[in-house]
Structure 1
Amino acid sequence: MVQKNKWLQRALFVSALMIAGHASAAVVTSVRPLGFIASAIADGVMPTEVLLPDGSSPHDFALRPSDIQRLQAAELVLWVGPDMEAFLAKPLKQVAANKQLAISELASVQPLLMKGDDDHDDGHDHAAEGHDHEHHHGEYNMHVWLSPEVAKVTAVAIHDRLLELMPQKKDKLDANLRQFEDQLAQTDKNLVKMLTPVRSKGYFVFHDAYGYFEKHFGLSPLGHFTVNPEIQPGAQRLHQIRTQLVEQKAVCVFAEPQFRPAVINAVAKGTTVRSGTLDPLGIGIALGKDSYGNFLTALSNQYVSCLK
């Protein structure tokens, strides 16, 4: 009997280890670019995981049961907030408040938020299209990871929260934050140099995601095809853009890897406008200490290669 009990205890211990190993402590982020920031700060402290698989959009994602387990097992969950990832609002009610950070709700981020373009003047027939403002088009543009300023304060918030959870890792976390801030400053300098020659070139983007980046680097967007990438722009909007392409001499129209709508090709057809692709989620960039800088640099290259 004793033998059997020992065996049973051992079996329970092994299965507990397996469960713990399966859902090990990690920083879990909603989208990849937040993973870039988190992985720099948590480097050597704990792994960083990204919830959304490459190619999916935060605007319309549905969680699987395994995702919910990952959220509950996470040491820290990092997301933009309910206006961007509506699908996280409910499951995060089950996660302790000190184990989650909503970037858009940080006191240090709120003054940096840009108003979103609600697109009320776009000539859409909203009723006919079943227009649904449920995703991020509350008052503000929620693509906050495209702002180097927001990235910097986000890094500080991640550092501070991980420090509360693991005070014994203070030296490593402090060093990681310093390194992140130094790299960000250097990347910023390099990108200003790189983007300055194309600042005055006009272009259209597919969806209203890039405001923070464009404002930071002084670019000249002429407009966007749609606010919500799930909704195709109406005929009137396309006509307006087509007219602008012909008249305003836009150099480029940009699609996105997640959305390659035929409308862009149709509108640009027969004009001298080039088409490019902007990736606001950094697909294919590996998480790590340098990943946020690599992400901003890749995006800048995407702008320059089409605009110059």
Structure 2
Amino acid sequence: MSRKLLSLSAMAALMGGTAMAEAPHVAVDIAPVHSLVARVMDGVGTPDLIVQPGASPHEYSLRPSEAASLQGADLVFWMGEDLTPWMEDAVETLAEGAAITTLLEADGTVLLDFREGALFEAHDHAEHDDDEDHHDHDHDEHAEEHDHADHDHDHEEHAEDDEHGHEEHDHEDHAEHDDHDGHAGHDHGEHDPHAWLSLANASTWLNLIAAQLSAADPDNAGAYFANAAAAIEEMEILSAEIAATLDPVRGGSFIVFHDAYQYFEAEFDFPASGAISLGDATDPSPARIAEIQARIQDEAISCVLAEPQFNQGIVEAVLGGTEANTGVIDPLGAELEPGSSLYPQLLRNMATTLAECL
């Protein structure tokens, strides 16, 4: 009898403790953020990834399964329309009843302004204590490190179309402003949306993710907050590891394919010298390529970094006639397995690639 009771009791405990079946349905836009959410949900449930690895987050057509994930979501975590402009309508129409968390608008998120031009100067990361409009929120701890001057120009980017936010070019306006290297016709928000490349932001978001999950699923709140606390400790260890990787090549000069890395640069005090393409999806003009080539030669730039999803031929054109090394850096984890380990591996790989290239 006791053995039977024990068996029934164990079965009941097993059924009652199957947290994954009770976990809220969560949808996340990009792989790095999905990784953070997966880390907080570890042992409780698994979030759905909307933008698949290797795809551009700026323009994307939802698959039926991804639309279904949004439609059935209890919670949605996404960067915001500055990164995935097409997703705003999808979230509003498909995830109408879900709790939506827009990380670029979250309290505590450190935001950096877009940089102008092909070449980055030392003042790009200078302190601007009087710049009160730089952030959407108060960030006393990070403001001195990250404040930038406000810019009035429009920049290259995808605009949201009527259905999925795919790119729409205003060719007349674009032609009238060729001297701005294609800024016109690519309206976007004030801030650089690649904010996940800051470990400080990731740590802020881990607590926010845990709080949002706990509000929807209070029975597992303890697990969520414990996972977030452990992940934050892991971020501190990762930060020290990355600094140690970069220290031997500190002071080296490098060029990136597009201006997506300034959060990483600012956090580890390792600034890039310029970007081949200002926007995430627009090819650089011949004048811009010539400007970058001149800097590589004049300053003996030793490294030019490509990205998996961009045209390698453009990088080869920039490298022509120079002795710079090249490497492939991946800010989205395109070649990594989605999951809780993707985010730290992504940052670790970026540091290793940069160090090896230099």
TM-score normalised according to structure 2 size = 0.73
The residue that corresponds to 2:142 in the other structure is none
1:205-232 alpha-carbon deviations (Å, 9 max, x no partner): 0011001001111113111011223211
The residue that corresponds to 2:236 in the other structure is 185
Q: Give the Cα separation in 2 of the matches to 1:169 and 1:97.
A: 21
1:20-45 alpha-carbon deviations (Å, 9 max, x no partner): xxxx9532211110111111001111
Q: 1:167 to 1:79 in 2, by over 3 A?
A: same
Q: Are 1:117 and 2:115 matched, yes or no?
A: yes
Amino-acid identity (%):
29
Q: 1:134 to 1:151 in 2, by over 3 A?
A: farther
1:224-247 alpha-carbon deviations (Å, 9 max, x no partner): 011223211111111111111111
Q: Give the Cα separation in 1 of the matches to 2:336 and 2:243.
A: 21
- Work out whether residues 255 and 276 of structure 2, in 8 Å CA contact, stay in contact via their aligned partners in 1: yes
The residue that corresponds to 2:5 in the other structure is none
Gaps spanning 5+ residues in structure 2: where?
1-22, 118-152, 156-172
The residue that corresponds to 2:190 in the other structure is 139
Q: 1:289 to 1:51 in 2, by over 3 A?
A: closer
The residue that corresponds to 1:28 in the other structure is 27
Q: Are 1:209 and 2:208 matched, yes or no?
A: no
What amino acid does structure 2 have at the position aligned with 1:259?
F
TM-score normalised according to structure 1 size = 0.84
1:85-138 alpha-carbon deviations (Å, 9 max, x no partner): 1111112113247522110011221xx10001254699xx94277946666842
**What SS does structure 2 have at the residue aligned with 1:101?**
strand
Offset of 1:266 from its aligned partner?
1.2
Q: 1:216 to 1:268 in 2, by over 3 A?
A: same
**What SS does structure 2 have at the residue aligned with 1:276?**
strand
The residue that corresponds to 2:72 in the other structure is 73
Q: Are 1:255 and 2:306 matched, yes or no?
A: yes
| Structure with a larger share of its residues in helix | 1
Q: Are 1:127 and 2:178 matched, yes or no?
A: no
Q: Give the Cα separation in 1 of the matches to 2:225 and 2:52.
A: 30
Q: Give the Cα separation in 2 of the matches to 1:93 and 1:137.
A: 19
Q: 1:135 to 1:87 in 2, by over 3 A?
A: farther
Q: 1:247 to 1:141 in 2, by over 3 A?
A: same
What amino acid does structure 2 have at the position aligned with 1:41?
V
Q: How does 1:149-228 map to 2 (within 5 A)?
A: 149-228=200-279
Gaps spanning 5+ residues in structure 1: where?
1-23
- Work out whether residues 40 and 291 of structure 1, in 8 Å CA contact, stay in contact via their aligned partners in 2: no
Please point out which of 313, 336, 339 is paired with 1:285.
336
Q: 1:126 to 1:249 in 2, by over 3 A?
A: farther
Q: 1:73 to 1:98 in 2, by over 3 A?
A: closer
- Work out whether residues 118 and 137 of structure 1, in 8 Å CA contact, stay in contact via their aligned partners in 2: no
What amino acid does structure 2 have at the position aligned with 1:77?
V
What amino acid does structure 2 have at the position aligned with 1:213?
F
What amino acid does structure 2 have at the position aligned with 1:168?
D
**What SS does structure 2 have at the residue aligned with 1:181?**
helix
Question: Please, what is the CA RMSD of the aligned residues?
Answer: 2.4
